[in-house]
Amino acid sequence: MKNEIAIDIEQAAAFLDLSPSRFSELLDKKVIRQNWDQYNNIFRFTSRVSDIDAGSVLLDNDDSFELVRGFPKIRRAMLIEPAIQANFSDNATVVVEEKMNGYNVRVLSYKGKLIALTRSGHVCPYSTERAQNLLNKHFFEEYPDIVVYGEMAGPENPYVRKDIYDIESLDFFVFDMRRKNDGIALPISERRMLAGKYGFRQVELFGEFGIPEAASKIGDIIRELGKKGHEGVIIKDPNMVLQPIKYTCSESNCADLQHAFKFYNEAGRDYIYSRVIREGFQSAEWNETEEELMERCLRLGESILRPMRESIKEVQQGTRVADESRIRVKDKKTISEFKFYLERLGLDIVFSPARKVGDDYIVDIKKINNSTSDKTLGIIRGQLWS
Amino acid sequence: MKNEIAIDIEQAAAFLDLSPSRFSELLDKKVIRQNWDQYNNIFRFTSRVSDIDAGSVLLDNDDSFELVRGFPKIRRAMLIEPAIQANFSDNATVVVEEKMNGYNVRVLSYKGKLIALTRSGHVCPYSTERAQNLLNKHFFEEYPDIVVYGEMAGPENPYVRKDIYDIESLDFFVFDMRRKNDGIALPISERRMLAGKYGFRQVELFGEFGIPEAASKIGDIIRELGKKGHEGVIIKDPNMVLQPIKYTCSESNCADLQHAFKFYNEAGRDYIYSRVIREGFQSAEWNETEEELMERCLRLGESILRPMRESIKEVQQGTRVADESRIRVKDKKTISEFKFYLERLGLDIVFSPARKVGDDYIVDIKKINNSTSDKTLGIIRGQLWS
């Protein structure tokens, strides 16, 4: 198998500033993994290697190499006021942009066409078709050394389906532009200007605030976003030198729980715990009245119990618990490519036959959750918990 | 160190039906561990060995051996009706007794005095003093081959402090009697009769119910127990041949969460998850009205958020989060023995000076939760979550 990896080890290693033996070892251990089919010149980092984050991607252009840096992990504020004070103390201001609820992709031009890389560094066929239809190619010709980082969001989203935005299908919202190789980000004003010029949709900009007023402004923004069911904000250094931090709405934390508890037997314990903990800190920081606290407690409790009860009743009525989503493509070939892609990732999913709607094809996707269905069925038949 | 273990390996191994080399190996690996000081003829099983459960205890009486079986793990019903049908289908009836919220101890006579073994098989000096003062010694003289299994419950409880029972200090409630060596349990009626005859307090007996009516009866009992803040029930085969199962009140699950979230940074993810899941199943089985469901959601949410908010506020005000309990002893020596015992178990606790109340000494015990206090303090100072 090793021989199939046709990459010049000496040169690739030199490009990454690694020894050839180290590079070979990383290939052998699948820390650096090759993509398949027409993308077999693309290699992704499955974990961090020296200063190269997991999810980074090495492009082998035959005569040269390029490195696309992964999405930097954005750390989370639990108490917004001290977090801003401690993390941006050297700044005069912070910029606040919306954190959207979708999935991250990086878009760049590869062999003359746009491709979309997921957070882990895979080339997603569905996102790629979308990027090709949504984004102005000229940008990538003018700025070949820039990678566009953004969020794919909307109802026709096979990963994180959300109807909370005013989006009919799935759209791409730019939140970052970074240089290839070193991954240095453009200052926010420059990125927004460029994105605007090329007609890219961008995540919403709420403003640039002085450090002393930022926490209170963000509190107001978060409350408004929460009412609309939106996720939250990213707080950024205008120059993108200091690391951004994130902060989310209670309603969004609870929506995450609601989805997780539908599939309660697969719900990650840490996933649940972390969302619950956020609620406690937000309640403490906002000095909530007794009435506001009770509302929050009820919201949290409902987000846990309602979906569980629903799943149990579904199984009692003889159905199996499933996660449903939908995709919309222009090229019918993308459907089979995307299905093959999901299967390669090890997902067990059912695609409905494609139906034609205007110029598009729509496919419904169903992921049966056997774990929760089987566990529930067992309990209904008298199984004990453990 | 090995030489300090003065036990006749050949004879002990033969008694346990193990080979001498296997027994030696279990001692070496500390699967069978020796107690200390005056109890160094007592050995506890730290994990299961063939059919001997963890927590079982081997007594070396110089000329003979005795085995005290551990507390059998009682499995939990999630949906009470199918659980009873499936687990007691061969029975005409089940007996329902109260599951109290305290800690398990086994009492037996050892070298002419009563001792109390904890769930893990340690000799607890505090519980031992209590057992000696609470239990009629004649029982153990009359029935030397019987071990009494019960719950230590009440407010003066260093492990699980509960003010929910009508107990001034700490009392012992019998829930089981088992033969030494094979661990076979007495039928419930015989055990209750014997306990009654010797004046032992017993867990409450709610009745013996036919299988078809049991689930509905238990539902009523659970609702009543819940209102009083009690924990739940154990459903037993009258002859104690089939394994008992347990079922708990929503209010008790929530009280557990309330305590766990006070120390949110140490709260076990599985501990939280399992209690939350119970609520979902109870709500589904009881076919709750919208109003009842909302009450349950609110109760669950409050049990999570109120204690967390309280802890955050305490740390903001400069105190550290602590777990407080209290013990009451007759013999002052028990205090230092108990302190030494907790320290040997690796607990970091602070004992107040003893104060004399009547014939007793009372000591307040404080266990500072550094993990939650430090984490909270960090966040108050601007630390990010991860």
Nearest to A76 by CA among A247, A277, A286, A217: A247
Closest residue, chain A, to B310 (C-alpha): A284
**With pLDDT > 90 as the criterion, what percentage of chain A qualifies?**
90
Instruction: Please count the CA atoms within 13 angstroms of the CA of B296 that sit on its side-chain side.
Output: 30
β-pairing, B75-76 vs B245-248, is: parallel
Taking contacts as CB-CB distances below 8 angstroms, the residues of chain A near B298 are 294, 297-298, 301
Is it the case that residue B2 has pLDDT exceeding 70? no
Query: What does the pLDDT read at residue B161?
Result: 84
- End-to-end C-alpha distance for chain B, whole angstroms: 44
* pLDDT score, position A3: 43
How many other C-beta atoms are found inside a 10 Å radius of the C-beta of residue B117? Answer: 31
Model confidence, pTM: 0.92
Rounded CA-CA distance A87/A79 in Å is 12
Any A CB within 8 A of B74 CB? no
Query: What is the DSSP pairing of strand A42-45 with strand A32-34?
Result: antiparallel
Are A300 and B296 in contact (CB < 8 Å)? no
| Residue among B85, B270, B276 minimizing CB distance to A304 | B276
Any chain B CB within 8 A of the CB of A287?
no
Average pLDDT for chain A: 95
| 159-198 in chain A: CB under 8 A from chain B | none
pLDDT 10s digits, B319-372: 999 999 999 999 999 999 999 999 999 888 999 999 999 999 999 999 888 899
Of the candidates B272, B347, B350, B351, which has an alpha carbon nearest to the alpha carbon of residue B307?
B272
Report how far residue A10's alpha carbon sits from residue B57's, in angstroms, rounded to the nearest whole number.
64
A282 near B CB under 8 A: no
What is the model's pLDDT at position A4?
A: 65
- Give yes or no for a contact between A331 and A125, defined as CB atoms under 8 angstroms apart: no
Strands B65-68 and B57-60: antiparallel
- Look at residue A2 in the predicted model and tell me its pLDDT: 42
Q: Where are the domains of chain B?
A: 9-68, 75-248, 250-316, 322-380
The residues pairing with A384 across neighbouring beta strands, listed in sequence order, are B77
Its CATH architecture, for the domain B75-248, is: 2-Layer Sandwich (3.30)
Q: List all residues 6 or more positions away from B280 whose beta carbon is below 8 Å from its beta carbon.
A: A261, A264, A304, A305, A308, A309, A312
What separation in angstroms does the CA of B285 have from each of A308, A312, B165, B210, B249? 12, 9, 28, 20, 13
Rounded to whole angstroms, how far apart are CA atoms B383 and B375?
A: 9
- Say yes or no to pLDDT of B300 above 60: yes
B78 and A272 within 8 Å at the Cβ level: the answer is no
CB proximity under 8 Å: A 87-116 to B: 87
CB contacts, 8 Å: B293 with chain A:
305-306, 309
How far lies A60's CA from each of A34, A43, A83, B211, in Å? Answer: 10, 8, 41, 71
Residue with tokens 């990125």: A191
Rounded Cα distance, A235 and A185, in Å: 15
Instruction: Report, at the CATH architecture level, how domain B322-380 is classified.
Output: 2-Layer Sandwich (3.30)
E strand residue ranges, chain B: 32-34, 42-45, 57-60, 65-68, 75-76, 93-99, 103-110, 113-118, 146-153, 171-179, 205-210, 232-236, 245-248, 322-329, 350-351, 355-357, 360-368
- pLDDT of B36 reads 87
pLDDT tens profile B75-108: 999 999 999 999 998 899 999 999 999 999 999 9
Interface membership of B261 toward A (CB under 8 Å): yes
DSSP class of A44: E
Q: What is the pLDDT along chain A (386 residues), one digit of tens a residue?
A: 444 678 899 999 999 999 999 999 999 999 999 998 889 999 999 999 999 999 999 999 988 999 999 999 999 999 999 999 999 988 999 999 999 999 999 999 999 999 999 999 999 999 999 999 999 999 999 999 999 999 999 999 998 888 899 899 999 999 999 999 999 999 999 999 999 999 999 999 999 999 999 999 999 999 999 999 999 999 999 999 999 999 999 999 999 999 999 999 998 899 999 999 999 999 999 999 999 999 999 999 999 999 999 999 999 999 999 999 999 999 999 999 999 999 999 888 999 999 999 999 999 999 888 899 999 999 999 999 98
Signed CA dihedral, B249, B252, B257, B260: sign only: negative
- List the structure tokens of B377: 């303090």
CA distance B257 to B272: 6
Instruction: Tell me the C-alpha distance between B173 and A88, whole Å.
Output: 59
Pick the CATH number of B250-316 from 1.10.10.10, 1.10.357.10, 1.20.58.2250, 3.40.1110.10: 1.20.58.2250
pLDDT in tens, B35-79: 988 899 999 999 999 999 999 999 999 889 999 999 999 999 999
CB contact set of A161 (below 8 Å; sequence gap of 6+):
A155, A324, A325, A326
- The H helix count followed by the E strand count for chain A is 12, 17
Q: Chain A contacts of B83, Cβ < 8 Å?
A: 382-384
Is the ipTM above a cut-off of 0.90?
Answer: yes
Interface test with A, best of B298, B313, B376 (most A CBs within 10 A): B298
Would you give the end-to-end CA distance of chain A in angstroms? 44
How many CA within 13 A on the CB side of residue B299? 22
Nearest-Cα residue of chain B relative to residue A385? B76
A280 touches chain B (CB under 8 A): yes
pLDDT of residue A386: 80
Per-residue pLDDT averaged across B219-241, rounded? 97
* Side chain identity, residue B289: T
Q: Which of the 8 DSSP states describes residue B49?
A: B
Amino acid identity of B214? A
Rounded to whole angstroms, how far apart are CA atoms B21 and A218? Answer: 68
Question: Could you report the per-residue pLDDT of B193-202, keeping only the tens digit for each?
Answer: 999 999 999 9
Chain A CB within 8 Å of residue B279 CB: yes
What is the Cα A353 distance to its own chain's centre? 27
Contacts of A78 in chain B (CB under 8 A): 379, 383-385
Could you report the per-residue pLDDT of B162-171, keeping only the tens digit for each?
889 989 999 9
DSSP B45: E
Radius of gyration of chain B (CA): 22
Q: How far apart are CA A66 and CA A106, in angstroms?
A: 14
Q: Are strands B65-68 and B360-368 parallel, antiparallel or unpaired?
A: unpaired
